[in-house]
């Protein structure tokens, strides 16, 4: 097979201009969407601007849906499905782009606040697969929500503005770290040592505290939380607070050809899918953009892909367009085509022995397709069939989209998973596709702007032309 070429040299000035616009828009979305809730909020705002309507409002009004109508549904503020009704009946199937919007991070526990030797901390529990040693000593921000007993919800974002404080997870100084550095990488930093340093000064003239009261540092933090956010210590029990790297997405390299940012797995696929969905018009088949939560921990729970949320809303659509026959719902799912849009491991010359060069993804060579993921002997993977891959290839070639095929590293070395196998349970055709990423699951990941551009173009072509 002919080796895929670096795409940068193939772009004319018009293409470079569009590439720049897409990537600037993408960086702005990364900055605004550092949690799954923030991603859903941002996507809904963009959808409404593009004429999408909440499907709950459509149901209340008793309307039916016709070709060109655009609706969306949200699950618990952390999962989103967008539909643009096509000219063909829904039972003929949909063209679906599915990506996840959760990313590896560190979560705050439900009883987190404590003081130790003049320092105040938040106790934490990491989320998803991380190298724990990568998450220490960098500036961290706190994002999330605090739900109170009166029904109000306080949105939290601290550490992103220049005027905000940031937080940190400390590490042992190298001068005293002989024992620490003799440990395996997985044990250098223990999970219970990932607590967030948040304060060091005591509360002045602390009312209600005895003279012998020792936790004045903790008291000062609680005073600040109460003063600025109306948050009591008990409110942590009903909070979802995520610790993520502070700061904005940045251009990477002297040539500005790459992007360095937190959360690009899998928001690089989520936002390009969203852009494609918003830009496609007059498609014959119903298009869907599905942004889901919990992929990094097994796609479980009410907002993960294993939930019935998507299936339920396809049934609602069927009732609004055809006759609501449950068999037609199953037919619509079975007849659908899907790109499970998730990132792939980019070849890293510094760690070349982890890859098999003929079957790996490279920066600047376009959208990546993984026929299967899983690990070892393709365990727990969706293995896309040849006929479907040929159909996708034809659409991409007809639209002059740059793409490549890859596996997740060398056989037996490791592996990974996506939501593809879950959707394949409906009998639909599914293949993994996405953008190659360096330093995947690290606090800062790297992508190629050319690959981001080709992902957007490829997703748009898929929504419009696959049939």
What does the pLDDT look like over 400-436, one tens digit per residue?
Answer: 999 999 987 777 777 777 888 999 999 999 999 999 9
Instruction: Please give the pLDDT value at position 205.
Output: 61
The values of phi and psi at residue 379, to 5°, are -60, 140
Quick one: pLDDT band at residue 206, thresholds 50, 70, 90?
low
| Separation between Cα atoms, residue 95 and residue 379, nearest integer Å | 26
Provide the pairing of β-strand 258-261 with 250-252: antiparallel
The secondary structure of residue 19, as a DSSP letter, is H
User: CA-based Rg of the chain, rounded to a whole angstrom?
Assistant: 24
Among the ranges given (45-54, 66-75, 214-223, 233-242), the one the predictor scored with the smallest mean pLDDT: 214-223
- Residue 213 pLDDT > 70, yes or no? no
- Residue 377 pLDDT > 90, yes or no? no
Using a pLDDT cut of 90, give the percent of the chain over it: 85
- Residue 194 pLDDT > 90, yes or no? yes
Quick one: pLDDT band at residue 208, thresholds 50, 70, 90?
low
Nearest 5°: CA angle at 450, between 445 and 453? Answer: 100
- Residue 282 pLDDT > 90, yes or no? no
Q: What is the DSSP string of 183-230?
A: S-HHHHS-GGG-PEEEE--PPTT-TT--TT---HHHHHHHHHHHHHH-
- Residue 83 pLDDT > 90, yes or no? yes
**Residue ranges in 69-114 assigned as alpha helix (H):** none
Query: Which residues have C-beta within 8 Å of that of residue 377, sequence separation ≥ 6?
Result: none
Q: What number of other Cβ atoms are within 10 A of residue 6's Cβ?
A: 14
Q: Quick one: average pLDDT of 285-302? A: 96
Q: Are 78 and 303 in contact (CB under 8 A)?
A: yes
Instruction: Please give the pLDDT value at position 323.
Output: 78
The secondary structure of residue 347, as a DSSP letter, is P
Instruction: Please give the pLDDT value at position 184.
Output: 95
Name the pTM for this structure. 0.95
Quick one: pLDDT band at residue 2, thresholds 50, 70, 90?
low
Among the ranges given (192-196, 228-232, 375-379), the one the predictor scored with the smallest mean pLDDT: 375-379
Residue 261: strand, helix, or coil: strand
CB-count exposure of residue 323 (10 Å: 0-12, 13-18, 19+): exposed
Q: Are 223 and 204 in contact (CB under 8 A)?
A: no
Quick one: pLDDT band at residue 212, thresholds 50, 70, 90?
low
The secondary structure of residue 262, as a DSSP letter, is T
Q: pLDDT tens digit string along 140-183?
A: 999 999 999 999 999 999 999 999 999 999 999 999 999 999 99
Instruction: Please give the pLDDT value at position 210.
Output: 55
Quick one: pLDDT band at residue 207, thresholds 50, 70, 90?
low
| Separation between Cα atoms, residue 55 and residue 152, nearest integer Å | 24
Instruction: Please give the pLDDT value at position 221.
Output: 96
What is the overall mean pLDDT for the chain? 93
- Residue 241 pLDDT > 60, yes or no? yes
Among the ranges given (32-36, 193-197, 317-321), the one the predictor scored with the smallest mean pLDDT: 317-321
């Amino acid at each position: 097979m002919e080796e895929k070429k670096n795409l940068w040299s193939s772009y004319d000035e018009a293409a470079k201009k569009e590439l720049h616009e897409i990537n600037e828009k993408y960086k702005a979305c990364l900055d605004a969407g550092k949690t799954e809730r923030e991603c859903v909020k941002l996507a809904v705002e963009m959808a409404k601007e593009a004429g999408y309507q909440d499907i709950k409002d459509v149901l209340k009004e008793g309307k039916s849906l016709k070709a060109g109508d655009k609706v969306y549904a949200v699950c618990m503020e952390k999962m989103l499905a967008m539909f643009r009704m096509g000219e063909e009946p829904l039972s003929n199937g949909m063209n679906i782009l599915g990506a996840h919007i959760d990313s590896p991070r560190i979560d705050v526990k439900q009883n987190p606040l404590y003081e130790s030797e003049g320092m105040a901390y938040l106790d934490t529990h990491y989320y998803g697969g991380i190298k724990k040693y990568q998450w220490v000593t960098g500036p961290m921000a706190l994002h999330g929500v605090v739900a109170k007993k009166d029904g109000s919800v306080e949105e939290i974002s601290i550490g992103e503005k220049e005027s905000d404080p940031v937080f940190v997870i400390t590490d042992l100084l190298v001068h005293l770290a002989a024992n620490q550095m003799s440990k395996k990488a997985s044990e250098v930093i223990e999970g219970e040592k990932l607590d967030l340093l948040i304060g060091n000064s005591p509360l002045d003239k602390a009312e209600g505290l005895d003279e012998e009261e020792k936790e004045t540092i903790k008291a000062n933090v609680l005073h600040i939380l109460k003063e600025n956010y109306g948050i009591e210590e008990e409110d942590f029990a009903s909070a979802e607070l995520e610790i993520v790297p502070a700061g904005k997405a940045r251009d990477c390299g002297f040539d500005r050809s790459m992007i360095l940012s937190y959360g690009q797995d899998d928001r690089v696929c989520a936002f390009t899918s969203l852009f494609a969905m918003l830009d496609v018009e007059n498609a014959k088949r119903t298009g869907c953009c599905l942004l889901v939560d919990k992929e990094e921990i097994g796609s479980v729970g009410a907002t993960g892909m294993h939930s019935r949320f998507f299936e339920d809303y396809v049934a609602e659509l069927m009732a609004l367009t055809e006759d609501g026959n449950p068999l037609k719902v199953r037919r619509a799912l079975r007849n659908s085509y899907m790109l499970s849009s998730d990132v792939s491991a980019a070849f890293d010359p510094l760690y070349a022995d982890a890859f098999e060069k003929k079957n790996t993804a490279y920066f600047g060579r376009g959208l990546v397709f993984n026929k299967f993921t899983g690990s070892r002997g393709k365990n727990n993977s969706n293995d896309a069939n040849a006929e479907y891959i040929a159909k996708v290839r034809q659409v991409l070639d007809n639209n002059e989209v740059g793409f490549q095929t890859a596996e997740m590293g060398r056989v037996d070395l490791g592996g990974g998973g996506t939501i593809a196998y879950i959707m394949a349970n409906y009998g639909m055709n599914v293949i993994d596709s996405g953008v190659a990423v360096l330093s995947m699951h690290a606090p800062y990941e790297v992508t190629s702007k050319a690959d981001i551009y080709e992902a957007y173009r490829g997703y748009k072509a898929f929504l419009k032309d696959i049939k």
